Structure 1
Amino acid sequence: MPKAYWINTFRVITDQGRFAAYAELAGPAMEAAGGRFLVRGLPARAFESGVVERTTLIEFPSVDAAVAAYDSPAYQEALRALGDGAERDVRIVEALP
């Protein structure tokens, strides 16, 4: 089963306090679900239609593991903490064999 990658971009962060509360809960939730953070922060450079927005890339053992992480009670708690404090785009992509 191929690995999967969770790609999360924050289009707009409207409440830094809520974002900080989310980050404090979300990181441990992802790691507890088998995720390994590979990237966290703003892009060093953006080209063509690239947008400079906070990006997170997390490696998981499989798509199922990444989806289970999203659905987990711990991550759902992090989402409640974030509330409407940010506008995000979350994608889970299967790795090439």
Structure 2
Amino acid sequence: MTAYGLAHLRPPAVLPEEAFQYLERIQATLDPYGGKFLVHGAPVQVVEGDWPGSLVLIGFPSLAVAREWYDSPAYREILPLRADHIPGDLILVEGCGPDHDSAALAAALRGAA
């Protein structure tokens, strides 16, 4: 099942040198795990609520592979270049399969309540 790494970042007005180093090196950490940028800092159109900052979305073959990438020595080496200089939140999440049915999910949730 496809999984995603989603980051909601709130970069400073002027990026520090470390952020550029991170950007230059992250793809090499993703390649061995099949990680692909799907969204990378494009402007967002906020239609509900508030969204300060930018969005990064990376696709992986599975949640286990996404976790392997995040825990890999190569990524751990560059992580402080971003995390110490750009505040934000990062999650790993499994996607829905092609047969996902939101009505069936509602029924299951209703039954569990």
Same fold, TM-score > 0.5, yes or no: yes
More helix by share: 2
Structure 2: tracts of 5 or more residues without a match: 98-113
- Considering Cα pairs closer than 8 Å and 6+ residues apart, tell me whether 1 or 2 has the greater RCO: 1
Instruction: Say which one has the larger Rg.
Output: 2
| Number of equivalent positions | 96
Q: Is the 8 A contact 1:25 1:74 kept in 2?
A: no
The secondary structure found in structure 2 opposite 1:25 is: helix
Judged with a 3 Å threshold, the aligned counterparts in structure 2 of structure 1 residues 90 and 27 are, in CA distance, closer, same or farther, namely same
Q: Which amino acid aligns with 1:86?
A: I
Deviations 1:39-77 (A, max 9, x none): 101334112213142211111010000011000111111
- 4+ long deviations beyond 2 Å: 11-16, 80-83
| 1:57 and 2:57 aligned | yes
RMSD of aligned Cα (Å): 1.8
User: Which residue of structure 1 lines up, in the alignment, with residue 21 of structure 2?
Assistant: 21
Normalized against structure 2, the TM-score is what? 0.74
Runs of at least 5 residues in structure 1 that lack an aligned partner in the other structure: none
Q: Is the 8 A contact 2:3 2:60 kept in 1?
A: yes
